[in-house]
Amino acid sequence: MQTIEELLREKKIKVTPQRMAVYAVLQRTKDHPNVEMIYRELKPNYPAISLATVYKTVDILKKVGLIQELSFGEGGLRYDSVTLPHAHIFCRNCGKVVDIESISPERLRELLLMESVAEETGFHISSMQLYFYGLCLYCNNKQSES
């Protein structure tokens, strides 16, 4: 198990406390936070950190492939330190995002590597996302009450 410092160094980007902190947040949470959430999480321990830095940091972590970006269309992007292919489900009411484990990485990789898709479209495919949308248990119960 590599340390965060080693991971950043391996990607040849400068190691700063802010970058380690942002990545650490993403590693320890399963919440798929957006920039604002990461910022709020860090603020107590890094009172001087700025939103701009968090924006720049997720951008560079994404570019070097340490994290992936999710886009559910709510306005704002979500970040995930798990870069293996896996599906996500998004609650249309509260915005909660949950990983889906019952669709295996292998099954997703099959979809990703489908030659017919590349042939049909002429695209050179580099990644994919499978998103489900609905209501989480809590929001669903709340709605049926009213």
- Minimum distance, C-beta of residue 61 to its own copies, in the bound complex (Å): 15
Q: Which long-range contacts (CB under 8 A, 24 or more apart) does 118-127 make?
A: 127/68, 127/85
Interface residues toward its own copies, by CB under 8 A = 69-73, 77, 87, 89, 91-92, 98, 100-103, 111-112, 114, 116-117, 119-137, 140
Of DNA, its own copies, none, which one sits near residue 121, judging by CB under 5 to 8 A according to partner kind? Answer: its own copies
Determine the interface stretch with DNA among 25-33, 54-62, 88-96, 98-106 (rule: CB under 7 A). Answer: 54-62
Nearer to DNA, 20 or 112 (CB): 20
Give every CB contact of residue 107 below 8 A, 6+ residues apart in sequence: none
For residue 128, give the amino acid letter. Answer: M
Spatial contact of 133 and 94, defined as CB atoms under 8 Å apart? no
Of its own copies, DNA, none, which one sits near residue 116, judging by CB under 5 to 8 A according to partner kind? Answer: its own copies
Of its own copies, DNA, none, which one sits near residue 50, judging by CB under 5 to 8 A according to partner kind? Answer: DNA
Strands 97-100 and 78-80: unpaired
Give the DSSP per-residue string, 58-75: HHHHHHTTSSEEE--SSS
Binding site for DNA (CB under 7 A): 9, 13-19, 34-36, 46, 48-53, 55-57, 59-60, 75-77
